Structures are given as structure tokens and as C-alpha cells.
Amino acid sequence: QGQLVESGGGLVQAGGSLRLSCVDSGRTHSGSARGWFRQAPGKERRFVAAISWSGDTTYYSESVRGRFTISRDNAKNTVYLQMNSLNPEDTAVYYCAARDTMSPSSNRYEYPYWGQGTQVTVSS
């Protein structure tokens, strides 16, 4: 069975940028919408961004709109999250998720499939 594998996390200074990648290693979710969520220590997992299978529909949380961009390359079975103007409040483990439909959602309970997460730490 395919896995969602995140990469690209790390330590960055405030104001910097990172690009996260999420590969569907088994091509299991090639026809599905994907989302990015994040979880800071002691907090619940929260929605960041989502994208439809075709890439023509995207959703963002208010806290990242204008700074983050979600995109996908279906030929590579990969979804990206470009994160600019990072601030310490963006520090969290970032998770990639997939759902069984082509349309995106901001509801984490509508995503049955999850990656292991990648840590993003933004220093002030």
C-alpha cells in the first residue's frame, strides 16, 4: 500500500522560506485531493492548505493565506507547500494528508490517509 512521505522541513530564521514536499510513494492517492495540516506542541492538529486533484481549487487557513502556496505535480505524485515569510508561530510538525475524493477539504476528519510528518522550526 502506498505511503505519503513528507520532506523539506527544518530550522529556519523568521522571515525565511521552506518548501515541503509530499510524495505518494505507491501512487495510491494519485486521483485524490490532498491537504497540509500542522500540529504545534500541546495543540490540536490544524488545517493549513488543501488542493484538488486537478490543482484548480485551493484552500488556505487565514493564518497562512498570502504567505503559503500549495501546488501539485501529478506526474510526480507530489504535492508541495511553499512557505514564505515564516514566523515562530509557524513552528509545528507538518502533515500531508489525502482523501478519497478529488475535491479538497479543510476538515481533518475527512482525510483518512496521513504521512508521518516533518518538523518545521522557525527561530526568532
The Cα 94–Cα 55 span in angstroms is 20
CB 14 within 8 A of CB 123: yes
pLDDT greater than 70 at residue 38: yes
Which range has the worst mean pLDDT, 22-36, 51-65, 77-91, 103-117?
Answer: 22-36
DSSP at 124: -
Q: What is the chain's mean pLDDT, rounded?
A: 94
Residue-wise pLDDT for 62-82, tens only, equals: 999 999 999 999 999 999 999
Q: What is the DSSP string of 87-121?
A: -GGG-EEEEEEE-SSSS--S-GGG--EE---EEEE
Residue-wise pLDDT for 81-99, tens only, equals: 999 999 999 999 999 999 9
